[in-house]
Amino acid sequence: MKVISYAALKEKSQLERYEYDKPELKDNEVEVKITHCGICHSDIHLIDNDWGISKYPLIPGHEIIGIVENTGKNVKHLKKGMRVGIGWQADSCGYCEYCLSGQEQLCSRNQPTCIGRPGGFAHAIIVNSKFAIPLPDELESENAAPLLCAGITVYNPLRIYGVKPYMKVGVIGIGGLGHLALQFANAFGCEVTAFSSSKDKEEEAKKLGAHNFISLIDISEKELNRYKNYFDFLLSTVFVDLDWKLFVSLLKPNGRLNFVGAGGNINIPIPMLLNNKIISGSAIGSPGMIKEMFEFAARHQIKAKTELFPLEKVNEAIYKVKENRVRYRAVLKM
């Protein structure tokens, strides 16, 4: 049996229709018929081999929603016909201290869904069944797909770093990740501030849950001073270098600046951190945290704003993502 997919056959190329042999299903695995897959900036970095880890043919895609088609004989919790989500992680070792403590994303043998194995720009996928998370009925497949990478990437730090309802949270960068972070932080009960370089996002950021909007292009010295020592938690979702000294100055003592965007450098004078200020990073989240996020998103009606493209138009969709013209996530429909 062949699986129809779209793959980059070499670095920086357009994707082409590509068929590969469906591997045999192992006892702990699940085969999923894919219905939707989001396009993440990481997919584009992988196509272009920006991180030097890509293997070709490369089938991108790690914001996957689909229907269980087949289960290995040891799989008890999934049944044919169930709707599931699959994110960046397709497998892990299962027995290291991180796997045993529900932090599988930190496993050194973490297997990314679309590096060295076929990803979600395809009609089917096979993964370790632990990493296929059942989707609550309330969530629609199209706007739940981006939760699998963008969503968990911003939900996880809010949870593991103990963000509380009385806190003031700032989200830096309002794109695929940031527009979900605003919704989550608002539903957590926090006061939420959006930082964006696109002034035209103010109205929408406020609809998504921001109480305040700060334009990174033309903020005045006076306005900034109002926010000195103001934030308990700042979440950076951007891929570019900003004035991180400035953002650290906006943190309260004990405040945290957490990075989830995969890029850039920081250079902070150590004395700025001596009021117990914390700088940290995090990536994705565990299967358990994805399950929790799904339930939270269903309860609070949190959804990605999406633009739908048929799988055959994947190159058009990628072009639009690169041009920064998608508000806020492109999703492929199979």
- Residue 179 in 3-state DSSP? helix
Q: CB 252 → Zn ion: shortest distance, Å?
A: 30
Alpha-carbon distance of 250 to 242, in angstroms, equals: 14
Distance CA(233)–CA(254), nearest Å, equals 9
Measured from the CB atom, the residue of 40 and 182 that comes closer to Zn ion is 40
From the CB of 4, what's the least distance to Zn ion, in Å?
22
- Is the separation of the CB atoms in 78 and 84 below 8 Å? yes
Closest to Zn ion by CB, 43 or 232: 43
Structure tokens belonging to residue 259: 């990075």
Of residues 150 and 190, the one with the C-beta less far from Zn ion: 150
When the beta carbons of 82 and 96 are compared against Zn ion, the nearer one is 96
- Tokens matching residue 156: 């996880």
Beta strand ranges found along 87-220 (DSSP E): 89-91, 111-112, 124-128, 133-134, 168-172, 191-196, 212-215
CB of 150 to Zn ion, least distance (A): 7
Shortest distance (Å) from residue 195 CB to Zn ion: 21
CB of 128 to Zn ion, least distance (A): 11
Q: Which is nearer to Zn ion, 39 or 302 (CB)?
A: 39
CB of 40 to Zn ion, least distance (A): 3
Measuring CA to CA, how many Å separate 276 from each of 15, 255, 263, 271, 273? 47, 7, 25, 10, 6
Pick the closer one to Zn ion by CB: 124 or 150: 150
Judged by beta carbon, residue 144 or residue 251, the one nearer Zn ion is 144
- Given the rule CB under 5 A, which residues bind Zn ion? 40, 42, 92-93, 96, 99, 107, 149
CA end-to-end span of the chain, whole Å? 18
3-state helix, strand, coil in the chain (%, to 5): 30, 30, 45
Q: Which two tokens stand for residue 301?
A: 């009606």
Short-list 130, 71, 134, 132, CA closest to 102:
130
Nearer to Zn ion, 150 or 250 (CB): 150
3-state secondary structure of 208: coil
**Please, what is the minimum distance in Å from the beta carbon of residue 41 to Zn ion?**
7
C-alpha to C-alpha distance for 261 and 153, rounded to whole angstroms: 9
Contact 326, 305 (CB under 8 A): no
Chain position carrying tokens 């700032």: 170
Least Cβ distance, residue 293 to Zn ion (angstroms): 15
